[in-house]
Amino acid sequence: MQLHVILSSLTLASLVYAAPKAHFSKRTYPKFENWGTDAVSKDHKKKLTDALPDAIDLVTRVSEDYNTYKDIWSKYFPESDHDDVKKVYAQIVSDPTKPDNGENRLENCQIVGEDFQKGQPQDSCAEGAEAWTSNLPDGSFGNPPGTSITYFCDPAYTGPLKYQDMRCVNIGNTLSDKLDFLGATILHEWTHNDAIGKEAIGTHIADIGGEKGYGPWGTRQMLQNDPSSCKLNADSYTWLALEVFWTKLCLNGKRFSDPVKPATISCFHAGDPSGHMGVCPNLGSTGWCDCGSAGKYPVLDGDDICGYTEQPDVEAMDIYSTDCGPTEAGPSSPECHNYTAPVADVQNINSQLNSWGGFNYML
């Protein structure tokens, strides 16, 4: 399917229909709490502040023209749930034509500058999350009912920050993560707030199925495999909004091609349990993954084709024998001079770790 318009020489601002100023002028935005005054904190706070209107615009666009885009809605939610989905969006933008209504609750979706989960048993950022949200008990710390706190982890700031900086020609016409931007992550976290999600459908909106419930492929597959869970899954709301949003801006009445199934992760990489950080760069093209890699990764960007650095990581690794089945032959590049063969079980993992530093990985 060809894009209807050639975009390479144009800016996105010249292509999108401008949101009426009223869409933004009277919105109530979340409070920022517990933010430091250091340069990094100031930078992150500014990026989030700038991205808040994008989250509102996402909801505004998906809430308009339902009948025209009903077919897209039906790729994420059973038609019987569409009214409930509308109610969730309406908790954020109650009426796109009356922008001063329905958004006061967003003030209680607080954005915090301190990671209160850090070092705790549930440490979402350490597990590779982009953000986490926690609903506070009513009245706690003097906050009104319906208050939540959200912290955005470092990966949230690595993707596109503003949709105005993105280009349709780069997004393409196949549904993929290229549609994603920071405002969509904000929307995802808003649906976790019980004054938005639970208030609308009677049940807390969570992240159903872990990694399997994320992204364009995972959310589409959920409709096929577990349709009753779709309206309980935060990323389903996010990706419906993203697909409608970019369909309106880029495809001129056409539709995105279906997403491509992600590469199957056959084992968890020690330095990258989720498989998303790029430290196993051959995975997507060859399916090969080095289960035994145990390096320290100051920059998780996949530059080390061996999958590890010289010194072993002495912290616990997310490797289990059931995850690491037979793997294909590893790379033969001379840069991998310390590498002998892919590690397929705990015994081999310990053998390789001993050769690096003399300690064992304990199940």
| Number of Cβ within a 10 Å radius of residue 326 | 9
Q: Is pTM beyond 0.75 here?
A: no
Is 22's pLDDT higher than 50?
no
Is 114's pLDDT higher than 90?
yes
- 65-79, 129-143, 258-272: range with lowest mean pLDDT: 258-272
Report pLDDT digits (tens) over 92-101: 998 766 644 4
Mean pLDDT of 63-85: 97
Question: Which has more confidence, 325 or 68?
Answer: 68
| Number of Cβ within a 10 Å radius of residue 344 | 16
pLDDT class for 193, splitting at 50, 70, 90?
Answer: very high
Give, in order, the Cα–Cα distances in Å from 96 to each of 19, 102, 200: 11, 10, 17
Report pLDDT digits (tens) over 5-15: 222 222 332 33
Question: With the C-alpha atoms ordered 215, 216, 221, 226, is the resulting torsion angle positive or negative?
Answer: positive
Residue 328 has φ and ψ, to the nearest 5°, of -75, 170
Of 80, 6, 8, 74, residue with least CA distance to 219: 74
Is 272's pLDDT higher than 70?
no
> Which of 21-30, 171-180, 267-276 holds the top average pLDDT?
171-180
Question: Which has more confidence, 142 or 297?
Answer: 142
Q: Residue 132 has what pLDDT? A: 96
Is 139's pLDDT higher than 80?
yes
pLDDT class for 123, splitting at 50, 70, 90?
Answer: confident
Report pLDDT digits (tens) over 195-217: 999 999 999 999 998 778 899 99
Average pLDDT, the chain: 73
Q: Residue 16 has what pLDDT? A: 35
Is 110's pLDDT higher than 80?
yes
pLDDT class for 342, splitting at 50, 70, 90?
Answer: very low
Of 235, 284, 291, residue with least CA distance to 262: 284
Beta strands 32-33 and 148-152: pairing type?
A: unpaired
pLDDT class for 27, splitting at 50, 70, 90?
Answer: low
Is 21's pLDDT higher than 90?
no
Mean pLDDT of 87-91: 96
Beta strands 148-152 and 131-135: pairing type?
A: antiparallel
Domains of the chain: 12-250 (3.40.390.10), 263-363 (no CATH)
Q: Residue 119 has what pLDDT? A: 87
